[in-house]
Copies of this chain bind each other. A is one copy, B any other.
Amino acid sequence: MKTDNRPAAKGRPREFCLDGALAAALRIFWSKGYEGASLSDLTQAMGITRPSLYAAFGNKEALFRKALDLYEREKLAYMGEALEAPTSRAVAERLLRGALEMQTSECEPRGCLRVISSVACGAEAESIRAEVIARRASSQQALLDRFERAKAEGDLPAHVEAAGLADYLGALLQGMAVQAGAGASREQLETLVETSLALWPGK
């Protein structure tokens, strides 16, 4: 990994901001999905022309991967932090409240880019789908590891298995994202989170 800040560019310097353009692309992918976002949508939102996009990002698929990186780095940061909470209940609470906060924030698309991009789609997006599913599986594995540690620490009741609980919480978060994408109100999602926490096992 070299530094991407070329200190002395040879020719004419780029006229647009790479990060800003990528952020704009993320918003489009986020609200329309990979296939639903056409190059015309993307270039218009990014404020650049088609050849500029290809020169800067490669192609649509590479652009999506970079946008997905940005999404996970900025919008899913709360997930990594949540795993460091002291108890399994606190982990769940941070994840649920973090998802609530992210998915109901104004001036951002609803739903979760990972969920949107992991549902069925045309053949062209199959590799995208596979990658998103793989990335999600890795997050899920981290959650599972955390709950197995909790189990070993006596932080979970005897009748609850770590594997089941991790998948359960993952399903809850994904379901929340689907409902947010379908237009659920913030109040609805808040009571959903509160109910989930009320039912969470352990103190």
A120 touches B33 (CB 8 A): yes
Name A's interface SS: helix
Tell me which of A159, A188, A199 has the highest count of chain B C-beta atoms within 10 A of its own C-beta: A199
A192 touches B171 (CB 8 A): yes
What's the Cα separation between A69 and B171 when bound, in Å? 26
Query: Taking the full assembly, how many copies of this chain does it contain?
Result: 2
A85 CB–B CB distance under 8 Å: no
With A133-B183, A163-B191 known as contacts, the answer to whether A122 contacts B36 (CB < 8 A) is yes
Q: Which residues of A contact B (CB under 8 A)?
A: 30-33, 35-36, 38, 109, 111, 115-116, 118-123, 125, 133, 136, 159-161, 163-165, 167-168, 170-176, 178-179, 181-184, 188-189, 191-192, 194-196, 198-201
